[in-house]
Chains A and B, each alone.
Chain A
């Protein structure tokens, strides 16, 4: 089955610090996504990518950057973490018009 691996699974960061969330997929999918999930908001798209070297802004990109150095890897970067970025983050991969596969999520707490 398609595999999407996120690391770390849990992270506590200090306000103003830099946080990098990593994602690796072995599905050879072109598209990768970063979502955050908060109670009452469902899944909200932060950044996505069509392939190595590309990143696109999603619906809530402010305060986040993304990097896609290869087909397999997609990172989400919080340059200056804030408490409002405390959330559960999901990485996903998929191809056009096909099922999207999600990782198990990263629980980020910014204190």
Chain B
């Protein structure tokens, strides 16, 4: 079983709408969580990190972490066509060099 599971596999949202992604880990040693975004033809790029329980907001993006349930989510409000991309959740143990990656969610923003 993958240690980091993402859902949904794909998502279609109208322009201006809210996009939401979920990620659940099976390893209680994971302390750090990241969201990365990958546009077609590019490498993944970090969107935001979250290390503490609760919400973290950066512009239109809000991440939420619940360490008790090992669940992290990402919400994009006022979605734009440029948000169409592949979104990855990644997790790591504190002090560990390796990121463990989810399988990704493909987001399509419909004009």
Contacts and interface: CB of A to CB of B under 8 A. Distances in A.
Interface in B8-40: 32, 34
A97 B46 CA distance: 13
Chain B interface residue bracket vs A:
20 to 34
A33 to B, nearest CB: 8
Contacts of A41: 103
Q: Which of A90, A92, A96, A100: most chain B Cβ within 10 A?
A: A100
A50 B98 CA distance: 10
A45 B4 CA distance: 14
Interface stretch (B57-65, B72-80, B88-96): B88-96
A105 B43 contact: yes
Given A48-B98, A104-B42, A99 B103 contact: no
B101 A97 contact: no
Contacts of B88: 42-43
Nearest to A104: B43
A43 B99 CA distance: 10
Interface residues of A, number: 22
A102 B97 contact: no
A99 B42 contact: no
B44 A43 contact: yes
Contacts of A25: none
A31 interface: yes
B7 interface: no
A96 to B, nearest CB: 6
* 8 closest cross-chain pairs (CB), A and B: A102-B43, A42-B103, A99-B46, A43-B101, A42-B104, A31-B97, A102-B44, A90-B43
Interface of A: 4, 31, 40-43, 45, 48, 50, 58, 90, 92, 94, 96-97, 99-105
